[in-house]
Amino acid sequence: MKSRTKLLDSRAARAAALALGAACLLAPAAIPPAQEGELVGDARALLQEWVETRRQISKERSDWALAKDLLESRIALIEGEIGAVRNRTAEIQADIAKTDKSRAEIEADKVRFAATSAELASALVGLEERTRALVRRLPVSVREKLAPISQSLPKDAASADPNKLSERYLTVVAILNEVNKFNREIRAESEIREFDNGSKIEVTTLYIGLGQAYYASGDGKTAGYGVPSEDSWTWIPANDQAAEIVGAIEILTKGADARFTNLPIRLQ
């Protein structure tokens, strides 16, 4: 466009020069009439060409100014879009970095949780085995009450499902709560006691928690005491102390007056 403008400028300059020359020729001088008309016509033609050339130059300049404004507006718009894309790219990169950090933290948590779960599983094995041993020391009535829960204890704790740690811990806690409740109480239970000679007698057994127990038959002739062992209770006859044992049982079961009673005891 610039080369075209230069061309128009040169043409305009030539036309202006010819017009000036024609004007000089039209000045009073000795010009033949025939040449005078020809010169006037040439001058008029050149002047028209000069005017048209100036108009073209003005149009070209106007068009160039308009095109320049449009081009600058388009450049500004594109630069704004580029800036927005760069800002968005920076935000995405920041989000990616944050996501990578979160992923690393999650992986670290998974490793830590796995280690904690392994420790809990290892500790739970011992808890379940000791809890099963405690259940065997409970009276029959209490064991029967706990049966729906105690049956959930795995037979082989070491090979139990590690994904059910929470359920297994809840089972242990429920059993220990019941055991602890029994251990804090003094209660009387009606039981069938089998003796070494093969006879079976219905007795009332007075349990003092998991520490000691005393039993006596209804006629007061057969009596004894017991201590918890590994698998159940060990019962020791004490018929010579039946009166004291019966008296202790009646204090609890029949509301007899409280009194000091000499009872047999075995320390473990």
Statement: residue 185 has pLDDT above 50:
yes
For helices 2-25 and 33-136, the axis angle rounded to 10 degrees is 160
DSSP type of residue 214: E
Q: Which residue has the tokens 């000499």?
A: 262
State the Cα–Cα distance between residues 188 and 141, nearest whole angstrom.
Answer: 11
pLDDT tens, residue by residue, 74-91: 888 888 889 888 888 888
Residue 11 pLDDT > 80: no
End-to-end alpha carbon distance in the chain: 115
Looking at this protein, which amino acid is placed at residue 178? E
Enumerate residues 6+ apart whose C-beta is below 8 A from 163. Answer: none
Among 200, 207, 221, 211, CA closest to 249: 207
pLDDT (0 to 100) of residue 104: 84
Decide if 153 contacts 128 (C-beta within 8 A).
Answer: yes
- Mean pLDDT over 120-148 rounds to 86
**Two tokens, residue 41:** 């016509």
Report yes or no on whether pTM surpasses 0.75. Answer: no
Looking at the chain, the number of H-run helices and the number of E-run strands are: 5, 5
Q: Is the pLDDT of residue 25 over 80?
A: no
Sheet holding 212-217, edge to edge: 186-194, 200-208, 212-217, 223-228, 233-237
State residue 211 phi and psi, 5-degree precision. Answer: -90, -40
